[in-house]
Amino acid sequence: MNDTIEGAAENQVARYASAVRAAFADLPGPERELLLEDLEDHLAEVAAEAGGPLSERLGRPEAYAAELRASAGLPASGARRRRTGSWLRETWGAQQGRHLWQAASAHPAGRAVIEFLPELRPAWWVVRGYLAVQAASVAISLLDANLGGLSFPVPQLLGSRGLGLLAVAAVVTGSVVLGRRGTTRRGLVALGNVGLSVFAVAMLLELGASEAYDDQYHPEFVTTYSGPVSGLRADGREISNIFPFDADGKPLADVYLTDQEGRPVVATHYDNEFLEPRQLVDRNSDEVANRYPQEQRQLDPATGQRYPGPTPEFRPPPGPVRSP
Amino acid sequence: MDTTQLLKGVLDLAVLAVVSERDGYGYDVVRRLRAAGLDDVGDASVYGTLRRLYSGGHLTSYVVPSEEGPHRKYYAVNDAGRALLAASTGTWRSFTDAMDKLLSNEEGEAA
């Protein structure tokens, strides 16, 4: 019963909200979402308080939207439509962007991300200020390679990091001031905001390009993880034991293996509860690690017994073996 | 006299004053404004004002999960909002002083 009432209230809120949203269709997606992102939650609060349907308490959705527009400082619906720049909103790319944005806002997770975006704005103001200085330093270095160039984390300006640091402090401050004003004012401030953002994006592209350059021409800087460095490997697989055979295919015992410089070749000892290598020592109690095959005892998990591991089969190539 | 017309001019100030007194979510601000005597304040106007002050950088917001019902977005006044509140309060005081003087002259003449 209670569920039905709550469901009906939710329906009512959704219907009212979508009617209000319809009156904001002329706004660009991000601006509309910034304005209306709390609308449903807000209406749900109103609906939660007893007393008649929403349209009775708040008036018709169209009137509600008009009041909202006025108080948010927007021109009345329709007045905005044919302004300069409206052609930009009608381009194919802009329409696709709008569709994407609408799809994202329709999904709860998308809404959560979109609600979070405004919180990121101050961070973006700081970052773009920093990037703008880096971009300027790169631009200068294009004119004269002795001045500037990419340097991290402190940019070089006219060949000086001190100057770079000063510039970062100044531009970041300016960027934040512009950012805070830009949300309410237009004109020059908006131009400054756009300019800074373009600079910052250019810088990000430049960074990406130089990374690609590094990857392409300086492969020695590329490190690859090759696993633990000790032990014995063939084709990347660890070798835990070696079974030598003679020319007739007879397994050999007690064979010592060394590398090309006489150093003992020691197989990888698995840290494995099922396979237990038997340690060997010589008369001086020094470990003998390169005598093969090593005696390894295997644990049978079913019985708990350990027994010598199997000797692999090997069929030597038909002899005689010679250089071709 | 139609108070909705008067409200339009001072809603920013009223909302800032209410939120600076204590953080609040949208409908809570509506209720507190009405409780303070601004009976005619419109729900949509308060919502729009809050969003405008927020996107203008005068308010910050944070979400408080609620046990029953939807989560609530609380608004709080930041330094820019406090500065705006102080400036608007100054404007309001000099305006009402002028109006008071004007009206007391009228009353004096009427009496």
pLDDT at A195: 72
Residue partners of A221: CB distance under 8 A and separation at least 6: A214
> H or E element: which one contains A151?
none
Cα–Cα distances in angstroms (integers) from residue A267 to residues A16, A287, A295, B63, in the given order = 74, 13, 12, 59
pLDDT of A227-260, one tens digit each?
A: 444 567 777 677 778 888 888 888 888 888 888 8
Strongest mean pLDDT among A11-20, A93-102, A182-191: A11-20
Nearest to A71 among B48, B69, B80 (CB): B48
Q: What angle do CA A242, A245, A249 make, to 5 degrees?
A: 140
pLDDT at B85: 95
Which residue in this structure is represented by tokens 């633990």? A228
**What are the tokens at A116?**
């979070």
Contact check, Cβ <8 Å, A69/B48: yes
A184 neighbourhood in chain B, CB within 8 Å: 55-57
DSSP summary character for residue A249: S
DSSP summary character for residue A160: B
Q: Confidence class of residue A80 from pLDDT cuts 50, 70 and 90?
A: very low
Q: Mean pLDDT score of chain A, rounded to an integer?
A: 74
Q: Confidence class of residue A188 from pLDDT cuts 50, 70 and 90?
A: low
Contact with chain A for residue B42, Cβ under 8 A: yes
A39 neighbourhood in chain B, CB within 8 Å: 47
pLDDT of B30-80, one tens digit each?
A: 999 999 999 888 899 999 999 999 989 999 999 888 777 667 889 999 999
> For residue A221, is pLDDT > 60?
no
Domain boundaries, chain A: 2-106, 119-221, 228-324
pLDDT at B54: 92
Q: Confidence class of residue A92 from pLDDT cuts 50, 70 and 90?
A: low
Q: How many CB pairs under 8 A join A and B?
A: 76
Cα–Cα distance between B17 and B21 in angstroms, integer?
Answer: 6
A64 neighbourhood in chain B, CB within 8 Å: 43-44
Q: What angle do CA A20, A23, A28 make, to 5 degrees?
A: 115
pLDDT at A91: 64
Q: What mean pLDDT is predicted for residues A186-195? A: 66
3-state secondary structure A115-140: HHHHHHHHHHHHHHHHHHHHHHHHHH
Residue partners of B66: CB distance under 8 A and separation at least 6: B72
Most B-contacting residue of A2, A33, A34, A41 (CB-CB within 10 A), to test interface = A41
| Number of folded domains that form chain B | 1
Show the domain range for B50: 3-110
List beta partners, residue B25. B74
Most A-contacting residue of B25, B27, B30, B34 (CB-CB within 10 A), to test interface = B27
Q: Confidence class of residue A146 from pLDDT cuts 50, 70 and 90?
A: low
pLDDT of A38-59, one tens digit each?
A: 888 888 888 887 677 888 888 8
Strongest mean pLDDT among A25-34, A135-144, A199-208, A294-303: A25-34
Cα–Cα distance between B84 and B16 in angstroms, integer?
Answer: 8
Strand segments, DSSP code E, in chain A are 233-234, 237-238, 255-256, 275-277, 280-281, 287-288, 291-292, 296-299, 306-308
Q: What angle do CA A6, A7, A10 make, to 5 degrees?
A: 85
pLDDT of B91-109, one tens digit each?
A: 999 999 999 999 988 766 6
The domain that holds B15 is classified in CATH as 1.10.10.10
pLDDT at B69: 64
Nearest to B57 among A38, A68, A183 (CB): A183
